Amino acid sequence: KVRVYNFGNGTSDGSSAMKNLLGSKGANLAEMSNLGIPVPPGFTITTETCSEYNQLGKDKVVSLLMTEVKLAIATVEKRMGTTFGSAENPCLLSVRSGSRVSMPGMMDTVLNLGMNDNSVAGLIAKTGNNRFAWDTYRRFVQMFGGVVLGVGAISKEDQNPFEEIIEKFKKDKGVELDTELDAEDLKRMVSDFKALCEVQTGAKFPDDPWDQLWASITAVFDSWMNPRAVYYRVMHQIPEEWGTAVNVQAMVFGNMGETSGSGVAFTRDASTGENIFNGEYLINAQGEDVVSGIRTPQQISLQGSKKWATLAGVSEENRKTQYPSLEELLPNTFKELNTTQAILETHYNDMQDLEFTIQEGKFWMLQTRNGKRTAAAMVKIAVDMLTIGMIDEKQALLMQEPSKLEELLHPVFDSEAIKNAKVLAKGLPASPGAATGQIVFFADEAHKYTDSILVRIETSPEDLEGMNIAKGILTARGGMTSHAAVVARGMGKCCVSGAEKININYKTRVMTIGSHVFNEGDWISLNGTTGEVYEGKIKNKDAELSADFDTIMNLADKYRTLGVRANAETQRECQNAIKFGAEGIGLCRTEHMFFEGERLARIREMILSTDEAGRREALNKLLPIHRNDLKEVLRAMENLPVTIRLLDPPLHEFIPHDLENQKEMALEMNVSVETIIQKVDNLKEFNPMLGHRGCRLGITYPEITEMQARAIIEAALELKAEGIATHPEIMIPLIGTVKELKLQKQLVKTIIEKVFEEKGDSIKYLIGTMIEIPRSCLTANQIAEEADFFSFGTNDLTQMGFGYSRDDAGKFLPIYIEKGILKVDPFQVLDQEGIGQLIEIATVKGRSFDPALKIGICGEHGGDPSSIEFCHRIGMDYVSCSPFRIPIARLAAAQAAI
C-alpha cells in the first residue's frame, strides 16, 4: 500500500482527481505541479493514513511510514539541492494539513521546520542574511511551540504569550512593526520563546529535525480530532472517516527582504462575485502574517489598492509610499501571478482562492482551491461563467450550494433608517449583510444575548462556534482575507473587518471609538456590504432579489421534476411562498390559526364545555372566523393546491399552565380558576405526543372535524362565487389504521355534500392523509384505498420511528452525535437508512394500489437538500417547506435531477 505521493519539478504522483486520497490541498499541489506552475517540491501522506493513525495509534503508524517518508525527503533534498538537518545547507520544511474539503484554519500547519542552532548558522552562511535566518528561527519556535507543544494563553483575557514577548521587544525598542526588529532582537527572542516553551511544557525544546518532523506530522493527524475541527465538521456535515492528509513541502521564504513577500488572492470578488482579480500581500513576511492581522496587508492590484485607500481613508500620497500595490512594487511578479490566476481559473472552471509566496522576486504557488464565497457571489459567478460559455447550465446549477441561498432572502437595513443612523467607524466590507446586536468580546459568550455582535481585535479558528452563533462580526484588525473575513463569508455571516479606529480592551470588556465608550451588552449595527459600523439598533426591510438569482432559479425549474410547495398559514406567508416560487401549500396547520384573540377564546370555550352541545355552540362561533382565515389563504393561493390539515395537537396546548395566565383566562372566560386548573389536570397526559391528538381528536369529537370541513368548503365556494379558483386538499393527520381514515373521510364527505346542497354549487376537492406513524407506512396499501394523497410527516415519523421524543431529544442527541452513534440530528436531516425505508415501503405499497397516488413530504426535511435528493430518488411528487427555504428546495430538486 502506498502512503506517500510526491509532487514538484513539473511532475507528481497524484492529480486533482485524487482529492479523496490526497486531500484537496495535496491533490491541487500535485495538479499545479503537473501544469508546470512553480510549486515547492514535497509529498503528501494520504488521508487513509489518518484513519490508520486513529485506529492503530502513533507508534505503529510512524513505523509504517518510516521508509516511504525517508525516501520522499531524499527526493525533496535532491530537487532543492539542500539537506534536511544539515548545518551548511539546511532543507527546511512546512508540514500542512489538508482534508478532502477545505476547512480553513481548522487544523494545524507548522512552517520552517528543521530550524535549530546548527541550521540557523547554515542559513546565515548560505544567504548572508542574518536577520532572515533568525526571523525564520523565531517563527519556527513560535509555531511549533503553539501548534505542536500547545503553548498558549492561560486564560482567554490574556494575550498569547509569544505575542506578548514580541510586543515587549517592540516596546523596549520603540518600534511599531515586527519588520523593524533586527537580527540581534530576533536572536534573543528565540531564546525567550524556547524558555517559554520549556516553562509551559516542562521539557526541553526539541532540536533534532527528525523529532520535529514526526511530532509535526502526528500533530496534524491529531488536529483532525481537535474540538474546532470536530465542530466545523458537524456544522458542514463532513464525515469523520474522511481524515486529513499531511503535506510536507520544502519551504520558500517570503521573509528574505524587500523583494520577498506572501499573499492571498481570489480570481474573482468573493463578496460580490464581480470578475475582478483581487487579493492582499505583505512584503518581507510569511503567509501566516497576512491572515493573522499582524500588519495591515496591501492590495495586489493597483485598482484594488485605490479602492481600499478610499475605504480606509488613506490619502493617495500615503498609499503610494506606505501601502503600494504589488502591481506597482514588483510589476513582473504581479504579471506572473496574474497569468497564473487566469490559467488556474480556466483549468478548474471555478473561482479560485490562491496562496503564493515570493522569494527574492521569484514567484511560487502554495495553494489553489475553489474559493469560499457569499451566496450573492455564488450566484453571480455561475451566471457570468455561463454567459461566456465557460460552463454549461448543469454545471452552473451544480456550482450552487442550496443552503447558502437563504442568505439572499434575509433582510437588509431599511434605507430610510440608515440615513438617520450614526456611523461610528468604517472597516472593510468583509462579508455582506445587515446585523444588529449586543456587543460580546469573547466567542464563547456569543450566546449571552439572542442577538449578539462579536467584537474582536482579530478572530482565530477557536472562535468558530461563537462566530456561528453571533449575528455579526466586527474586528479591529485584518483585511479582506483575514480569518474573520474568510470564515464569515463561508458562513454567510455579516462581517466588518479591520475597523482600525476601534480600540478593544479584553480585560475591562470595553470598546472605544474616539470619544464613544461601549460596554459589553451595548447595541451596535454592522453593514457588511459597506463596512459601516453604527450606533444602536437599525430597522430592517425585505431583501431585493437580483436578476442573476432569477436566472439560476429559472434554470433550476427547467431541470427539476419534483414539485415544491410551502408550509404556510397566513396571507403574508403565502405571499412570500409565491414570491419565492412555491407551487402550492403542502401544509396549512390549522391549529396555528387558532392561537390568537377571539379564535383562542372560542377554542378554550370548546375545551371547557362538558358536553357535545356546549362544544358545538363554541365551534359554531368559531366557524365564520375560521372560514375567513381559510379564505385568505385560499385566495392568496388562487389556482394552486392548498393542503389543509385538520386540528392536530393535544388540546392542553391551548390552555395556560401557569397560575398567572390561568387567572387571566378564568377572568376572560368567566369561570373560576379552579375550573381551569381542574381542566388542565384533566387534559394531562404522560406522553402527549403519543396521546389524544391528530385524528384521535376528530374521532372522539367529530364536531371538530365537521366544523373544519364546513369552513374549508364554504370558503372555497364563496371564493368560487367571486370567480377565484381554489384547490383545497383536506388532510387527516396521524392515521395509524385505515379505519381511522375511513371514518373521518365519511364524516368530511357527508358535511361537504350537505354544504354543496345548501349552496346549490359544488367544487373539486381531495381528501388525503398524513403518513407519520410507522404502522401506517407498513399498511400503506390499505390506506391508499381511502386516500387521494399521502403526505409524509417526517417529524413525527422520525420521532416515532426512532422512539425519540422530539421535545426531549435535546438532552441526549448532542452526545449521540459526539459519540458517533448518529452522524447528524435526524430531525434536521432525514435518516435515509432507517426512516427512509419506512417512507419507501409506504410509497411502494401506496402506489401498488394506485400508481398515480400523489405523494409529498411536509416535515422539516422538506427543506433540507440531502433529504430532498432522497425524495426525488424515491419518486415523490413534491416537497413542502417553509417559504424561506423554497429557493433551496427548487435548487436541491434540480441538482437531484441532474
- Interatomic CA distance for residues 584 and 575, integer angstroms: 11
Residue 209 site contact among Mg ion, ligand ADP, none (CB < 5 to 8 Å, cut-off depends on kind):
none
Residue 366 beta carbon to ligand ADP: minimum distance, rounded to whole angstroms? 5
- Interatomic CA distance for residues 247 and 76, integer angstroms: 12
Subset of 44-83 contacting Mg ion (CB under 5 A): none
Beta bridge partners of 426: 532
795 marked as binding residue: yes
If the CB atoms of residues 369 and 845 are measured against ligand ADP, the closer one turns out to be 369
- Interatomic CA distance for residues 895 and 378, integer angstroms: 15
**What phi and psi, each to the nearest 5 degrees, are found at residue 25?**
-65, -50
If the CB atoms of residues 38 and 324 are measured against Mg ion, the closer one turns out to be 38
Subset of 346-375 contacting ligand ADP (CB under 6 A): 355, 357, 366-367
3-state class of 168 per DSSP? helix
Residue 430 beta carbon to ligand ADP: minimum distance, rounded to whole angstroms? 17
DSSP assignments along 376-425, one per residue: HHHHHHHHHHHHTTSS-HHHHHHT--GGGGHHHHS-EE-HHHHHHSPEEE
Residue 793 site contact among Mg ion, ligand ADP, none (CB < 5 to 8 Å, cut-off depends on kind):
Mg ion
Q: Which stretch binds ligand ADP (CB under 6 A): 63-71, 244-252, 498-506, 859-867?
A: 244-252
**What count of Cα atoms within 13 Å lies in the side-chain half-sphere of residue 311?**
25
Which of 122, 793, 862, 887 forms a contact with Mg ion (CB under 5 A)?
793
Regarding 796 and contact with Mg ion (CB under 5 A), the answer is yes
Q: Which residues contact 688 (CB under 8 A, 6 or more apart)?
A: 650, 652
Residue 470 beta carbon to ligand ADP: minimum distance, rounded to whole angstroms? 22
Q: Which stretch binds ligand ADP (CB under 6 A): 78-86, 280-288, 721-729, 845-853?
A: 280-288
796 marked as binding residue: yes
Q: Is 776 left (phi over 0), alpha (psi -120 to 50) or beta?
A: alpha
Subset of 770-789 contacting Mg ion (CB under 5 A): 772
Q: How far apart are the first and last CA of the chain?
A: 36
Q: Which stretch binds Mg ion (CB under 5 A): 110-118, 581-589, 719-727, 796-804?
A: 796-804
- Interatomic CA distance for residues 854 and 380, integer angstroms: 36
Which of 288, 328, 632, 653 forms a contact with ligand ADP (CB under 6 A)?
288
If the CB atoms of residues 49 and 262 are measured against ligand ADP, the closer one turns out to be 262
Regarding 438 and contact with ligand ADP (CB under 6 A), the answer is no
Residue 175 beta carbon to ligand ADP: minimum distance, rounded to whole angstroms? 24
Bridge-based pairing of strands 516-519 and 452-456 is: unpaired
Residue 773 site contact among ligand ADP, Mg ion, none (CB < 5 to 8 Å, cut-off depends on kind):
none
The amino acid that residue 628 corresponds to is N
Which of 72, 165, 197, 252 forms a contact with ligand ADP (CB under 6 A)?
252
- Interatomic CA distance for residues 423 and 525, integer angstroms: 9
Residue 300 beta carbon to ligand ADP: minimum distance, rounded to whole angstroms? 14
3-state class of 859 per DSSP? coil
Residue 109 site contact among Mg ion, ligand ADP, none (CB < 5 to 8 Å, cut-off depends on kind):
ligand ADP
Regarding 262 and contact with ligand ADP (CB under 6 A), the answer is yes
Residue 298 beta carbon to Mg ion: minimum distance, rounded to whole angstroms? 19
Which of 325, 367, 529, 708 forms a contact with Mg ion (CB under 5 A)?
367
Q: Which stretch binds ligand ADP (CB under 6 A): 285-293, 667-675, 686-694, 814-822?
A: 285-293
If the CB atoms of residues 85 and 287 are measured against ligand ADP, the closer one turns out to be 287
Residue 40 site contact among ligand ADP, Mg ion, none (CB < 5 to 8 Å, cut-off depends on kind):
ligand ADP
Bridge-based pairing of strands 766-771 and 727-732 is: parallel
Q: What angle do CA 510, 513, 514 make, to 5 degrees?
A: 125
Which of 109, 340, 436, 705 forms a contact with ligand ADP (CB under 6 A)?
109
If the CB atoms of residues 51 and 249 are measured against ligand ADP, the closer one turns out to be 249
Residue 113 beta carbon to Mg ion: minimum distance, rounded to whole angstroms? 16
If the CB atoms of residues 366 and 713 are measured against ligand ADP, the closer one turns out to be 366
- Assess contact for 328 and 2: CB atoms under 8 A: no
Regarding 249 and contact with Mg ion (CB under 5 A), the answer is no
**What count of Cα atoms within 13 Å lies in the side-chain half-sphere of residue 140?**
29
Which of 14, 23, 40, 768 forms a contact with ligand ADP (CB under 6 A)?
40
- Assess contact for 288 and 108: CB atoms under 8 A: no
The single-letter DSSP state of residue 428 is E
645 marked as binding residue: yes
User: Please, what is the angle between helix 375-387 and helix 547-559, to 10°?
Assistant: 70
Which of 247, 313, 244 minimizes the C-alpha distance to 12?
247
**CA distances for 506 relative to 165, 382, 509, angstroms:** 18, 42, 5
Residue 61 beta carbon to ligand ADP: minimum distance, rounded to whole angstroms? 21
Residue 252 site contact among ligand ADP, Mg ion, none (CB < 5 to 8 Å, cut-off depends on kind):
ligand ADP
Within its chain, how far is the Cα of 232 from the centroid? 9
Residue nearest to ligand ADP (CB): 287
3-state class of 814 per DSSP? helix
- Interatomic CA distance for residues 63 and 70, integer angstroms: 11
Subset of 830-859 contacting ligand ADP (CB under 6 A): none
Regarding 491 and contact with ligand ADP (CB under 6 A), the answer is no
Regarding 94 and contact with ligand ADP (CB under 6 A), the answer is yes
- Interatomic CA distance for residues 536 and 522, integer angstroms: 8
Beta bridge partners of 502: 513
Regarding 478 and contact with ligand ADP (CB under 6 A), the answer is no
Give me the sheet containing 510-513, strands edge to edge: 502-505, 510-513, 516-519
Residue 727 beta carbon to ligand ADP: minimum distance, rounded to whole angstroms? 53
670 marked as binding residue: no
Regarding 8 and contact with Mg ion (CB under 5 A), the answer is no
- Interatomic CA distance for residues 323 and 382, integer angstroms: 33
- Assess contact for 40 and 251: CB atoms under 8 A: yes
456 marked as binding residue: no
Q: Which residues contact 576 (CB under 8 A, 6 or more apart)?
A: 566, 568, 883, 884
Regarding 437 and contact with ligand ADP (CB under 6 A), the answer is no
For the annotated catalytic residues, the residue numbers are 483, 858
Feature table: binding site for substrate: 589, 645, 772, 793-796
Residues that bind Mg ion (CB under 5 A): 355, 367, 772, 793, 796
Residues that bind ligand ADP (CB under 6 A): 40, 94, 96, 104-105, 109, 111, 249, 251-252, 262, 286-288, 355, 357, 366-367
